[in-house]
Structure 1
Amino acid sequence: MVLFAIFLGRRVDATLRPQGEWIEVEGERLHYRTLGEGPPIVLVHGLGGNMRNFDYLPLAELARDFRLVLLDRPGSGHSPRSSDARAALGEQARVVAGFLRAMRFDRPPLLVGHSLGGAVSLAVALREPDAVAGLALIAPLTHDVPEPPPAFKALAIRKPRLRRALAYTTAMPASIARGQQVLTFVFAPEPPPRDFPVRGGGLLGLRPQAFYATSTDLTALEHQLAPQEARYGELRLPVHLLYGDGDRVLDWKVHGQALAAKVPQARLQVVPGAGHMLPVTQPQLTAEFLRRAAGDAFCATVRS
């Protein structure tokens, strides 16, 4: 099983090769991709995802007006992670904030976060508010969740040794067997596109190191969000929220409506009949959302 996991992981890496460039930040080697010129927009993916999750967006169209930067978070996609300690929410925020500085943008960017990437983006804005012009949060995780959704419970492995042992033995066959079931849950009530394993980078999640990193991310969230929740009222920058009212991964009222209630300037848009994977299932609507958020963020930057 170990040999099978290693072999298949290498096949996936050979099929979905890195698309972008590399940069060293805070001791982490980060993989990122840049498109276009103009005001910067940095996109951060969610739990178990990677930058390819945003490839359904009309990137070429957006790149005519903005400089798009798609990032693989440490431990995700093609970015390795130096240690499990870097999975903590504050540590992820420190690395992303360091990445924003290292990119030497001519102005603070609009920071876009999907799902767990939303929690990370909020942590960045609270940690270094001057580093970000605004937040565009897509189905973001914003508040503490007592337990993970049913499809993610198999990832809640608290002991690192057991986590690594499973990553290189049973995790990959189990992921292959349950793959369609998990995708159906994550995308529900919308159907997952058939090309998501390749175009959306779904296959990258089958690798042993990806399972290990995703499980580490999930377990590291325990007791991390409550202190952050208490500080949301400190946010002064523009905040835009996009949620599907059918999201089965994160309830839009618990995470979207609750955040909007704590941040007076936040604007919440709820999409009827949509689920959690809005960048994939609602690409044009999401692109329009990003344009509105960018307009607010960069206008606010100019006014300040």
Structure 2
Amino acid sequence: MFWIIGLAGLGLLCAVGWLPLKTWLIKRRVEKAVPPRGTFLQTSTGRQHYVDRGEGPAIVLIHGLGAQLGNFDMGLIDGLARDHRVIAIDRPGMGWSERGDETPANPRAQAAQIVELIDALDLDRPLVVGHSLGGAISLCLALDFPHKTRGLALLAPLTMLGGKVAPPFQALAVKSGLKRFLLSWTLAIPNSIRNTDMVLNYTFGPETVPKAYSIQGGGLLGLRPVSFRNTCRDFLASARDLKWMNSQYDHLPVPVSVLFAREDRILDANLHGAEFARQNPAIHLTLIDGGHMLPVTQPEICEKFIRKAAAESAGIGEQNPSDQGRIG
């Protein structure tokens, strides 16, 4: 019996010891498959990774929870860059951007961090585009720094208090920093791979996942310990400023346009879209068919929507009526 217990304990120890090595090997393969595609800039949070394409009026793209700038690089960046200067960022701590454990992760703090990049690149009041959590960050940027943007174009944004937490995010509520670290090097990445179909069904459904999403869309970068840890921190901090944000919507300082898909399985379009739009008659809501990952699945529709928002925020007229019909 003693030897049986000893062998069982040794087997368990070997299994636990194998997990960090397995995670490290996955991390190395992912980083080789999806290397940095842009430029690095030093800010208060560390090195920040971004791409900068095109010339013309500036547009800044801010991605959502657990994502990175590749979500915009499935056609949207290049489409807009035909006549705009487009800056897509890896938010601090995500993709290839750095963020220390002591750096705050709530939306208002992240908005201030992104303003650092806007200032460093000498951008003149860019249109700010935010997807999902990036939408909440964009709203905080406009509310706290209205002189830094001429308008917002929000894609399936987080805007309102309340609503249910989608199943893929429930495992992210890890409050202990030590537990996040241990999980990130043991169970988190293997579990993410095991649950891939379930996660993608919620985040993309009812639309299908484009074949290029893993590499060109940067999806594989989520399979790294640092990504898990910072996604947990972002998730836990995501609602921290919503009460304050909700109290400010009746006097938004810049034009705000919102694009939502009716079948979104992550954020309720009725709450975060329609109810949000009711807070201020100056908020313009467009509803389409589809899921949550609009920059990836419908980049052409997003481009038309953003172009319309850019034109309206610049006061240069409306979009072509035929395009409006295709968006709405």
What TM-score results when the alignment is normalised by the length of structure 1? 0.94
Task: Supply the distance in 2 between the matched residues of 1:65 and 1:195 (Cα, whole angstroms).
Answer: 25
AA of the residue aligned to 1:285: I
Provide the residue aligned with 1:42 in structure 2. Answer: 60
The answer to whether the 8 Å contact 1:114/1:138 transfers is: yes
The answer to whether the 8 Å contact 1:239/1:266 transfers is: yes
**Counterparts of residues 179-198 of structure 1 (less than 5 Å):** 179-198=196-215
The answer to whether the 8 Å contact 1:34/1:68 transfers is: yes
Task: Supply the distance in 1 between the matched residues of 2:246 and 2:112 (Cα, whole angstroms).
Answer: 18
The answer to whether the 8 Å contact 1:110/1:134 transfers is: yes
| Aligned partner of 1:59 among 77, 83, 87 | 77
With 250-259 and 216-225 compared, the bigger mean Cα shift is at: 216-225
Deviations along 1:222-275, whole A, 9 cap, x unmatched?
A: 432111111112213111100000001001110111221112211100003x11
Task: Supply the distance in 2 between the matched residues of 1:224 and 1:158 (Cα, whole angstroms).
Answer: 18
Task: Supply the distance in 1 between the matched residues of 2:183 and 2:122 (Cα, whole angstroms).
Answer: 40
Provide the residue aligned with 2:294 in structure 1. Answer: 278
With 149-158 and 122-131 compared, the bigger mean Cα shift is at: 149-158
CA RMSD, 1 decimal: 1.4
Task: Supply the distance in 1 between the matched residues of 2:188 and 2:168 (Cα, whole angstroms).
Answer: 14
Task: After TM superposition, give the deviation of residue 84 of structure 1 in Å.
Answer: 4.4
Task: Supply the distance in 2 between the matched residues of 1:170 and 1:68 (Cα, whole angstroms).
Answer: 37
The answer to whether 1:295 aligns with 2:314 is no
Task: After TM superposition, give the deviation of residue 12 of structure 1 in Å.
Answer: 0.9
Task: Supply the distance in 2 between the matched residues of 1:262 and 1:26 (Cα, whole angstroms).
Answer: 34
The answer to whether the 8 Å contact 2:55/2:85 transfers is: yes
Task: Supply the distance in 2 between the matched residues of 1:75 and 1:298 (Cα, whole angstroms).
Answer: 32
Q: Percent identity among equivalent residues?
A: 41
The answer to whether 1:200 aligns with 2:217 is yes
Task: Supply the distance in 2 between the matched residues of 1:261 and 1:27 (Cα, whole angstroms).
Answer: 36
The answer to whether the 8 Å contact 1:57/1:286 transfers is: no
| Aligned partner of 1:135 among 145, 148, 152 | 152
- The number of aligned residues is 298
The answer to whether 1:83 aligns with 2:101 is yes
Task: After TM superposition, give the deviation of residue 26 of structure 1 in Å.
Answer: 2.6
The answer to whether the 8 Å contact 1:113/1:121 transfers is: yes
What TM-score results when the alignment is normalised by the length of structure 2? 0.88
The answer to whether 1:16 aligns with 2:19 is no
Task: Supply the distance in 2 between the matched residues of 1:269 and 1:154 (Cα, whole angstroms).
Answer: 32
Task: Supply the distance in 2 between the matched residues of 1:146 and 1:297 (Cα, whole angstroms).
Answer: 30
Provide the residue aligned with 1:234 in structure 2. Answer: 251
Task: Supply the distance in 2 between the matched residues of 1:108 and 1:221 (Cα, whole angstroms).
Answer: 25
The answer to whether 1:216 aligns with 2:216 is no
AA of the residue aligned to 2:311: G
The answer to whether the 8 Å contact 1:45/1:116 transfers is: yes
Provide the residue aligned with 2:268 in structure 1. Answer: 251
The answer to whether the 8 Å contact 2:129/2:135 transfers is: yes
Task: After TM superposition, give the deviation of residue 299 of structure 1 in Å.
Answer: 2.2
The higher radius of gyration belongs to 2
